Structure 1
Amino acid sequence: MREYTELEIVDSLKDIDSILAIRSHVSFLFEDNRLSRRFIGGSPISKVGLNTIKFLTQGHYEGVSLGEVKPGTKLELFEGGKKEVKISDAIIQKRYFEKPSKKSWSITEEINPSDCIVYQLEIRLSNTEKECLELGKTPLQMEDKWFSFVENNVIRFFRSWTGIEVFQAEISQIAHDNWVINELRSTKNPKINFQDKKSLFEDLVKYQIMRIEKIIK
C-alpha cells in the first residue's frame, strides 16, 4: 500500500511552490513529545488546497497507527533527514492508504493456473483481516522482499527484486463476516526455491494481517 498525508502549511518559511519543488526527503517533527521518536516523513507531491499539500509518507512502515498520528496533529517540517533546515509548521488534515494494484510494481512473470503447484490449506479470515490483506504490501527499500495485492478476491505475492509471482490464492466468502483461503497455487519456476511454500504463504498472510491491524487501529 501507499500512504498519503495531507498537511495544512502554516507559518511557512517557503511558499507552496517552493515546498512542492523539494526533491529531498522531508522530516516531520511532532509537537507532542510522546510522538517525538515516531517518523512519517516523506515527499511533497501535489497541492490539494490553498495551503494544503499532499505528501507521500511512510508512517505505516514505521508502525505509526492512524489513531496515533491523525487529523489535528501538529508538527514541524524540515528539509532532508536532519532537523537543520526548517520549512514550516503544519497541521495534519488527512492521512490515508491507497491499495496497490498490478500496475503498482514491475511484474515479469505471473503464475499460469494450468501449470502450477497446488496446495490444500484452510486459512479463515474475518472482514477486518481480509481488508488488511487488501491493503497489500508495496516495497519501500531493498530489504522489502515481497510485493502483494488483492485483485478480484485473489491475493497475489511477488518477489520484489525479480517481479516473479510466487503465490496466488482465492479468498472465498462463506458467511457475512467469514472468508476462507483453501487452495494455494505456487510457481514451478526453478529460480524460486523454498523448502516449504505452504508454510511460507501462511506466515506471509499472518504477518501482513498482524502488521496492518496495528496500523489501522
Structure 2
Amino acid sequence: MVVTILRKSYDEAIKAVGGVKIYEGKVPTEEINRIKEQATYFGEDGSIDYWNNIVKVYVIRRANGDDVYIQLAGNTAGGNIQILQKEAFKQTITMLKADQIQKDLSDKGKAVLHINFDTDKATLKGDGKEAIAEIAKVLNADKNLKIAIHGYTDNTGDEKHNLQLSKQRAATVKDELIKSGIEVSRLTTEGFGQNSPIADNNSEEGKFQNRRVELIKDK
C-alpha cells in the first residue's frame, strides 16, 4: 500500500511539471546485460540495480534540449529514483573565414561550410549571413573564380522534403551573394538532400556536420 501511494505521488508530481511517462514494465534481460557490461557501479550490494522490478521512465522535455529523464523502480522492500539530465548539443565547429575558404578551394577544389539556417527553413540566421559575407570576400578577391553551391541536410524527416530544402538553401546562398554584388554568371546551385553524409546521423554532432553547404570550384 505504501509503495502504491509513493508511486502515485511521484507520478502526479512529475506530470504536474510537464513530465510524460514513456515506459513502464520490466527491463528486458538483453538490456540489463548490455548495461552490466558497461556499468562499474550498481550501488551498495546492487541497491540501484532494477533486476526484475517494474520500472517507470518519464521525460520532461525542455526547449533548450536539456531534457530530464526520471526512472522509478521498487517493490515492497524498497525502491529508488534516478534522475538524468541530458546536456543540449553545443556547436563546436567554427565559421570558416575568407582566407580558409580560399585555401580550401585552391588546395582541395571545394570548401565545406556550416551555414546556420532557421530550423527546417531556407531563411538565414544572423551568423549565416556573416558566413556568406566571407564567401563574397573570396569571390571579390578573384574575379575569375566561379563556384557551384551544393546544399545538404541531415536525415531528419522526409527524404523528398530534405532534397527540396537543400536546393532552397543553396539558392538562398546564391541570392545573398548576388545581393552583395557577385555576378549571377559566376554561381550555380544544386541540392542533394540527405545523400552523401560526411558524419554519422545517429548523433546531434553528426547531424550538424551533415547540414552543410559545399562550395565547388568551377573549372
Higher relative contact order (CA 8 A, sep 6+): 1
The TM-score with structure 1 as length reference comes to 0.20
Specify which structure has the higher proportion of strand.
Answer: 1
Specify which structure has the higher proportion of helix.
Answer: 2
The TM-score with structure 2 as length reference comes to 0.20
Q: Which has the larger radius of gyration?
A: 2
